[in-house]
Amino acid sequence: MSVKSLTNFAVIVLLVFVLLRGGDPSPGPGPVPDVDPAPFPSDGLAVLIVYESADKGTYPPSQLNVIDSTTLRKFVKDAGGEIRLFDKDIDAQYEAEKWREALAKPRDSLPWILISHGGKGYSGALPETVDATKELIQKYK
Amino acid sequence: MTFISDTSRDLILDPGELAPEIPQGLSTGYEERDWSAAPYGAGYAAPFDIQVIPRAEWRDRIKDMEAEKSRLTDFCDMEGLTVLDQNGTNYCWANGPTHCVEILRVYQGLPMVRLSPASIAAPIKNYRNVGGWGEQALKYIVDHGLCPQSMWPANAIDRSLDNTTSREARQKFQVSEWWDLDPGNFDHLMTCLLLKIPVAVAYNWWRHLVMALDPVALDGGFGIRIHNSWGTRWGANGTAVFREGYGRNRANPDEMIAPRVTTAS
């Protein structure tokens, strides 16, 4: 194979790679769109929202509604899941291991959401509305 | 059109509507905080240090909270968490902060656990049924924690309950972050309530400490919804609404503490 043929082949492989990556739909806002592996181990649906309680006043009101929503909690519980909403500095030493693991995962910003159900999951910035958050969780129910 | 909260289920207390004496069979127990020994923001509790939410935003935020069912009242309703009943003890000053912890746990998605005010008040006061102030209760919760009522009945003043088992159990029910709010500062109080942070509020005119849980938009002003610690037979199922202002049946407290993060357990 000539040098020119090798170069063409490399370009084609690169194009295919970029097209495949670019066609991957993002499950929501945030820089970590990968769904596998789950960010923390949980057989059932488990959702953790991490925030800074002293900064709640700086969050947009619609995003604050996500953290504060009873309907979101009910949405998760009705699906047989569990949900926790933790300050980033909460003392979780007495909590189940899955929540401790979830809390220890790296985050790029706050508030942050981690979802796990079996082998699938998500870790990323918290969506800005209750509906968008429900849509995101729906994918892993 | 100006938004006004739905208060059809509330008892709104205005000056003159509550007898100055304590209703028969009910007790209080708040002692005015010793501000020289425990000064605002310079003592045990950290001062409130976040930006106050402007009044211009209050009605819209309250409207959103009521529409989204994100008031602390909605969390209590969701979990069936009712008011405490100090049942003749002088431990109102421990009931308020204890109820704050109960509600914070539910807010954080933790299992609802009924906690014992006497498990902190009794040791603080050397097992005497006497008054105190909110910061004293908060300090004990931060340092030692609360016992579940299953282990230490809510109003039991009994030294034998303080043992190795209960001391171990109470470590799971501590507070790790909290604020001291500027006494009488209604904007501090409303900012916490708009952010769903319950506040233990004390009134010298009432010699009583209760818990504030919701901001309320009223015709011509604002108020707060409180949970008293006199059981469900008082007020509207144990709750009432005070309008902004100073003095009897008014909302601006003489002491305010706001625990905002509890141990996860």
pLDDT of residue A19: 44
Domain of B188, CATH number, reads 3.90.70.10
For B72, the domain range is 25-209+253-262
> Is residue A84 predicted with pLDDT exceeding 70?
yes
pLDDT of residue B240: 94
pLDDT of residue B42: 75
ipTM of the modeled complex: 0.93
In a domain? residue B216: no
Strand extents, DSSP E, chain A = 42-51, 82-87, 112-118, 120-125
Please name the member of A68, A84, A99 whose beta carbon is closest to the beta carbon of B70. A68
What SS3 state is found at B227? strand
> Is residue A33 predicted with pLDDT exceeding 80?
no
Using CA coordinates, name the residue in chain B closest to A100: B264
> Per the structure, how many domains does chain B have?
1
C-alpha to C-alpha distance for B165 and B147, rounded to whole angstroms: 10
Predicted TM-score (pTM) of the model is: 0.90
Look at A53 and B261 and tell me if their CB atoms are within 8 Å: yes
Please name the member of B60, B195, B263 whose beta carbon is closest to the beta carbon of A57. B195
**A10's tokens:** 């490399």
Chain pair A-B, CB pairs under 8 angstroms: 83
In tens, the pLDDT along B1-56 reads 799 999 988 999 877 666 556 777 889 999 999 999 999 887 677 889 899 999 99
pLDDT of residue B18: 63
Q: Across residues B140-157, what is the average pLDDT? A: 98
A113 vs B: CB within 8 A: no
In a domain? residue B193: yes
Q: How confident is the model at residue B249 (pLDDT cuts 50, 70, 90)?
A: confident
> Is residue A23 predicted with pLDDT exceeding 50?
no
The percent of residues above 70 in pLDDT, for chain A, comes to: 74
In tens, the pLDDT along B49-96 reads 899 999 999 999 999 999 989 999 999 999 999 999 999 999 999 999
C-alpha to C-alpha distance for B7 and B4, rounded to whole angstroms: 9
Q: Across residues B209-233, what is the average pLDDT? A: 96
> Is residue B107 predicted with pLDDT exceeding 90?
yes
In tens, the pLDDT along B126-136 reads 999 999 999 99
- By DSSP bridging, strand B175-181 and strand B12-13 are unpaired
Where does A27-138 sit in CATH, by number?
3.40.30
> Is residue A17 predicted with pLDDT exceeding 80?
no
Identify the residue among A71, A73, A133 best suited for mutation to test binding to B, counting B beta carbons within 10 A and taking the highest: A73
Using CA coordinates, name the residue in chain A closest to B57: A61
Domain boundaries, chain A: 27-138
C-alpha to C-alpha distance for B1 and A137, rounded to whole angstroms: 36
Look at A86 and B264 and tell me if their CB atoms are within 8 Å: yes
